[in-house]
C-alpha cells in the first residue's frame, strides 16, 4: 500500500476527517509524533517509502528529499514554501502544491488582535492583576492610526480591510505590481515610506530569497518613535538583535510575534522581554482555517498524485 506522510502539528495532535479520507483512495496515512514538529532525523526515518507528503512549516533539508526515494508530491497546508528545498524538488520533478488563502482569515484576525493587545497593553494588565497589582497603562486607539501592511497577498489584503473598517489609515507595499494595483482602499507606497509613516507595521510577506530580514537595524531606526511591529509571517523577516536594541531605545514600543526561527524557541532573550507579545504560531490555528487548509491540501495532494 502506498504511504502518505502527515507532519503539520495541527493535524498530528488530532485526526482530521479530510486527512483520514486519504485512506478511501487506498493510501496508508503515516503521522509523525503528535503535536511536535519533526526533526531532520525524524524525517529521514519517516520519508524513505512515502509517495505523498502533507507538509507543515517544519524545515526540510535536501538530505531528506534525497532519502525520500519514492516521493512524488508534497502538499502544504498553507502558502509558505521557504522551509522546502525547492531546487531539489524541481530536480527530482516532485510536484509541489500550496493551499493559497486557506488560512488568511485566521492569520489576519490574529494580526488585528495583536495590534489591540499591543496598543491597549492587554498582556501587561492581565499579568499585573494576576500578581496582585493594578496596572493602568494609557493606551491608544486604532481609529485614526496609520497601519502599514508589508505584503499584500490574501492575508495582507484582509488585514488592510479589517484595519480600514476600524478607522485606520492603511498603507501597503508589495513587490508585485498586480498586488499594488488590486484596489484603491489603501495607499500603496514603497517600504521606506511605509516604515517612516506607519505607527503600526504588520508583516505578511514571504521570507527573502537571500534570507535577509525586512526589518533590520537601519529600517527599525527609521520607524516612527514608539511604533508597534506585528509579525505573523516569518521569523526571518525581523533581525532579533536589532529588535532588542530598538525596544531598548524606545524606537519600537511593542513587538508582537507569532513565528520563531526555532519552535518552540529555546533562546528566550527576546520573547521574555515585557515589551514583546509572543504567541505559539497560532495564526492559522483556528477551527475554520484548519478545516479549509486541510481540505485544500488533501484535494491538492490527491490531484497531484493522480496526475503523475
| Dist CA 115 CA 177 (whole Å) | 27
| Dist CA 10 CA 36 (whole Å) | 9
The residue assigned the cell 509558505 is 80
Domain 104-278 in the same topology as domain 3-102+287-306: yes
Instruction: Give me the helices (H) in the chain, please.
Output: 9-12, 17-20, 40-46, 62-67, 86-92, 104-119, 122-130, 154-165, 177-180, 191-197, 217-221, 240-249, 287-306
pLDDT for the residue 177: 60
Q: Is 123's pLDDT higher than 90? A: yes
| Dist CA 274 CA 53 (whole Å) | 39
pLDDT for the residue 69: 96
pLDDT grade for 54, boundaries at 50, 70 and 90: very high
The ranges assigned to domains in the chain are 3-102+287-306, 104-278
pLDDT for the residue 304: 96
Classified as helix, coil or strand, 255 is strand
Q: Give the DSSP per-residue string, 156-176.
A: HHHHHHHHHHTT-EEEEE-SS
Q: What percentage of the chain reaches a pLDDT higher than 70?
A: 97
DSSP state of 207: P
pLDDT grade for 181, boundaries at 50, 70 and 90: low
What's the predicted TM-score (pTM) here?
A: 0.91
pLDDT for the residue 100: 87
pLDDT grade for 163, boundaries at 50, 70 and 90: very high
As a residue count, the chain comes to: 308
Q: Which of 191-195, 236-240, 260-264, 297-301 has the lowest mean pLDDT?
A: 260-264
CATH of region 3-102+287-306 = 3.40.50.720
pLDDT for the residue 308: 55
| Dist CA 84 CA 54 (whole Å) | 12
What is the residue-averaged pLDDT of the chain?
A: 94
Average pLDDT over every residue of 68-87: 94
CATH of region 104-278 = 3.40.50.720
Q: Could you report how far apart the first and last alpha carbons of the chain are, in Å?
A: 17
Catalytic annotation, residues = 234, 263, 281
pLDDT digits (tens, 9 = 90+) for 237-259: 999 999 999 999 999 999 999 99
Q: Give the DSSP per-residue string, 53-85.
A: EEE-SS---HHHHHH-TT--EEEESSS--TTS-
Q: Is 183's pLDDT higher than 70? A: no
| Dist CA 291 CA 24 (whole Å) | 18
Alpha carbon distances (Å) from 147 to 126, 161, 192, 236: 25, 11, 14, 21
pLDDT grade for 175, boundaries at 50, 70 and 90: confident
pLDDT for the residue 211: 84
pLDDT digits (tens, 9 = 90+) for 12-35: 988 899 999 999 999 999 999 998
pLDDT for the residue 13: 84
Amino acid at each position: 500500500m502506498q504511504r502518505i506522510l502527515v507532519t503539520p502539528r495541527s493535524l498530528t495532535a488530532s485526526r482530521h476527517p479530510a486527512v483520514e479520507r486519504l485512506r478511501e483512495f487506498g493510501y496508508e496515512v503515516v503521522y509523525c509524533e503528535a503535536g511536535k514538529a519533526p526533526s531532520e532525523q525524524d524525517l529521514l526515518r519517516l520519508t524513505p517509502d512515502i509517495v505523498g507528503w502533507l507538509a507543515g512549516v517544519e524545515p526540510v533539508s535536501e538530505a531528506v528529499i534525497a532519502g525520500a526515494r519514492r516521493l512524488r508530491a508534497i502538499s502544504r497546508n498553507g502558502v509558505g514554501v521557504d522551509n522546502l528545498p525547492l531546487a531539489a524538488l524541481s530536480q527530482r520533478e516532485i510536484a509541489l502544491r500550496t493551499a493559497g488563502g486557506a488560512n488568511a482569515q485566521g492569520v489576519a484576525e490574529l494580526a488585528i488582535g495583536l495590534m489591540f493587545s499591543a496598543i491597549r497593553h492587554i498582556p501587561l494588565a492581565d499579568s499585573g492583576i494576576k500578581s496582585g497589582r493594578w496596572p493602568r497603562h494609557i493606551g491608544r486607539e486604532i481609529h485614526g492610526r496609520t497601519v502599514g501592511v508589508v505584503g499584500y497577498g490574501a492575508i495582507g489584503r484582509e488585514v488592510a480591510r479589517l484595519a480600514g473598517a476600524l478607522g485606520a489609515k492603511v498603507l501597503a507595499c508589495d513587490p508585485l505590481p498586480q498586488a499594488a494595483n488590486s484596489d484603491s482602499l489603501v495607499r500603496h507606497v514603497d517600504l521606506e515610506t511605509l516604515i517612516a509613516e506607519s505607527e503600526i507595521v504588520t508583516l505578511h510577506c514571504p521570507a527573502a530569497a537571500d534570507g535577509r530580514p525586512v526589518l533590520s537595524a537601519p529600517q527599525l531606526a527609521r520607524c516612527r518613535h514608539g511604533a508597534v511591529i506585528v509579525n505573523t509571517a516569518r521569523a526571518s523577516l525581523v533581525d532579533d538583535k536589532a529588535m532588542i536594541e530598538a525596544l531598548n531605545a524606545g524606537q519600537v514600543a511593542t513587538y508582537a510575534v507569532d513565528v520563531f526561527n526555532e519552535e518552540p524557541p529555546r533562546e528566550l532573550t527576546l520573547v521574555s522581554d515585557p515589551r514583546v507579545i509572543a504567541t505559539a504560531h497560532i495564526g492559522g490555528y483556528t477551527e475554520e482555517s484548519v478545516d479549509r487548509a486541510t481540505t485544500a491540501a488533501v484535494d491538492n495532494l490527491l490531484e497531484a498524485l493522480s496526475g503523475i
